[in-house]
Amino acid sequence: MSEPGGPPGVAARTAALRALGRIRRDAAWSQPALRAALDRAGLPAEDRALAAALVYETLRWEGTLDWALEQVSSRPLRKVEPVVADALRLGAWQLLHGRQPDRAAVSTTVAAAGEVAGKRVTGFVNGVLRGLARGRERLPWPDPATDEGLGLRLGYPAWIVAAARARFGERAEPVLAAGNDAPGVMLRATGGPAARDALLDELRAELRVQGLEPAPAPHAAASVHLGSNVDPDRLASVRQGRAVVQDEASTLVGAAAGALTPATRTDRGRRRAVDACAAPGGKATHLAEQGLAVLALDRHAGRAGAMADEVAAHPRSAALGVAVADGRALPLPDASVDLVLVDAPCTGLGVVRRRPELRWRVAPQDPGELAAIQQALLAEAARVVAPGGAVCYSVCTWTHQETAAVVETVEAAPPGTPQAALTPVEPDLGGAGTQLPGDPGIQLAPDRDGTDGMYVRCWHAGPAEA
């Protein structure tokens, strides 16, 4: 890798440093921020791949890198200028986990820091990184038997390690370690179930013509798996709406929820569904493909607008409506829809493979606060679902507070409330997921299922209609 007018590797690290700054400064998600930085930099494919790897790994190991830097820096990292801290983390990851020689890692990172923050910072960045290179073998890492020690070894805050140990027991370490694996790209072929096999064959053939090697998804029949170096935005099938980027766990939830609704509604025509927290819209479009008339809601106008743009390009967009509404106060009469999907806001710890920055953004109090929102969403879902219909609850996380504890609250509702009329039903998740001790729901996890860490619990509503 070389750049005209500069040492090899500097342009990639400069783009990575600018992306890290945008992610930190604006609390932006890593994928769109990185894509924008790479597009502005105009890097060749090999340097784009290097910059992307540096960004994702620096985000993934942020707390571990901060701890290591604190051992060799003359200043606490919290007192260092943010852009300089970003540069130090970028260099520290290369020294602790990268494969390039120390001298190259330090010099290129120092040069990138100078490009982004000015020459005034290069001396400090150089000194700290050289100190880490000299002293990394003597760092006093805590015992991995402790929550702090395992967290530093795997790249998680100690409180998340403690929560994983409470939830998974001996599986905690494999679950957390799997959250560091590159997940690759999963595509779901769009279209109705009747044409699924033909659509999948067409999608696979198209991808092979493009030099890709689509593999079958282990659990979701409508999906194919691609490698982690594929940019789905560059695929014609995605741009033209013949495939959507969706993890296998989300595809399984959409298929299971659609299958729980009554097969026919001769009294009211097409089955009606509400996706109460629908953005970005992948599950809503999947429900429409299964023949349901879907109202997709989000309480944020910006997200609803982006979702409407995506839906407009979908083959089943005529069966999809998008509106701005809070799922805790649905603009619907009692007992008026056949399915309510509550894919609730959560800590997102089940998707840290794709959003590595999440693990350092979530606070210990967040699971409890989000669980209260989830309970309110389910109470409203129980109000609007019609007898014979279904409510399906999913979250892309695994904390006890946001999974089993929420379900326990729903299923312990007092007689006479809408929730008391809900009867548990087992969704078909293609054989994925397990039931943890004392938890009636199904927990998917990357270590055993190769999917995002999605949790699912579904119910039928009251007696079926005559």
pLDDT at 297: 96
pLDDT at 323: 95
Complete domains list, the chain, with CATH: 10-138 (1.10.940.10), 147-178 (no CATH), 185-247 (3.30.70.1170), 249-461 (3.40.50.150)
Kindly tell me if the per-residue pLDDT of 261 is higher than 60.
Answer: yes
pLDDT tier at 263, thresholds 50, 70, 90 = low
Torsion of the alpha carbons at 310, 255, 375 and 451, rounded to the nearest 10: -90
Q: Letter for the amino acid at 34? A: L
Please give the backbone phi and psi of residue 340, each rounded to the nearest 5 degrees, phi first: -120, 120
pLDDT at 415: 93
Q: What is the mean pLDDT of the chain?
A: 92
pLDDT at 266: 44
Kindly tell me if the per-residue pLDDT of 88 is higher than 90.
Answer: yes
pLDDT tier at 8, thresholds 50, 70, 90 = low
Q: Name which residue leads in pLDDT, 287 or 229.
A: 287
Write the pLDDT tens digit of every residue in 111-142.
Answer: 999 999 999 999 999 999 999 999 999 999 99
Give the residue-averaged pLDDT of 85-99.
95
- The closest of 316, 414, 338, 419 to 375, measured between CA atoms, is 419
pLDDT tier at 264, thresholds 50, 70, 90 = very low
pLDDT at 282: 92
Kindly tell me if the per-residue pLDDT of 199 is higher than 90.
Answer: no
Kindly tell me if the per-residue pLDDT of 260 is higher than 50.
Answer: yes
Write the pLDDT tens digit of every residue in 145-176.
Answer: 999 999 999 999 999 999 999 999 999 999 99
Kindly tell me if the per-residue pLDDT of 256 is higher than 70.
Answer: yes
Kindly tell me if the per-residue pLDDT of 462 is higher than 60.
Answer: yes
Classify each residue of 398-424 as buried b or exposed e, where b means 16 or more C-beta atoms within 10 Å of its C-beta: bbbbbbbbbbebbeebeeeebbebbee
Q: Name which residue leads in pLDDT, 112 or 268.
A: 112
The catalytically annotated residue of 277, 346, 396, 458 is: 396
Write the pLDDT tens digit of every residue in 431-461.
Answer: 999 999 999 999 999 999 999 999 999 999 9
pLDDT at 465: 46
What global pTM score does this model have? 0.92
Three-class DSSP labels, the chain:
CCECCECCCHHHHHHHHHHHHHHHHHCCCHHHHHHHHHHHHCCCHHHHHHHHHHHHHHHHCHHHHHHHHHHHCCCCHHHCCHHHHHHHHHHHHHHHHCCCCHHHHHHHHHHHHHHHHCHHHHHHHHHHHHHHHHHHHHCCCCCCCCHHHHHHHHCCCHHHHHHHHHHHHHHHHHHHHHCCCCCCEEEEECCCHHHHHHHHHHHHHHHHHCCCCCEECCCCCCEEEECCCCCHHHCHHHHCCCEEECCHHHHHHHHHHHHCCCCCCCCCCCCEEEECCCCCCHHHHHHHHCCCEEEEEECCHHHHHHHHHHHHCCCCHHHEEEEECCCCCCCCCCCCEEEEEEECCCCCHHHCCCCCCHHHHCCCCHHHHHHHHHHHHHHHHHHHEEEEEEEEEEECCCCHHHCHHHHHHHHCCCCCCHHHHEEEECCCCCCCCECCCCCCCEECCHHHHCCCCCEEEEEEECCCCC
Give the residue-averaged pLDDT of 180-189.
92
For this structure, is 396 an active site residue? yes
Q: How far apart are CA 211 and CA 4, in angstroms?
A: 30
Among the residue ranges 84-98, 124-138, 255-269, 348-362, the one predicted with the least confidence is 255-269
pLDDT tier at 265, thresholds 50, 70, 90 = low
Contact 376, 442 (CB under 8 A): no
pLDDT at 393: 98
pLDDT at 257: 96
